[in-house]
Amino acid sequence: MNSSGSTGDAYRTRLPWLVHPFFVSVGGSLLMAALGSDIMYAQTSLMQWSNASEWLIAVGLVFALLSAIALLIDVALGVGRPISWLDFILLAGAALLSLVNAFVHSRDAWTSVVPQGIWLSAIVTLLLLIVGFRGWRVTRTRRVEGVRP
Model confidence pLDDT, tens digit, residues 125-149: 999 999 999 988 888 766 554 444 4
DSSP 15: P
Q: Which residues, in sequence order, are CB contacts of 30 under 8 Å at separation 6+?
A: 56, 57, 59, 60, 63
Identify the H or E element spanning 83. Answer: strand 80-83
> So what's the pLDDT on residue 11?
42
Model confidence pLDDT, tens digit, residues 45-101: 999 999 999 999 999 999 999 999 999 998 888 887 788 999 999 999 999 999 999
Name beta bridge partners: 141.
Answer: 80
Backbone φ and ψ of 124, nearest 5°: -60, -45
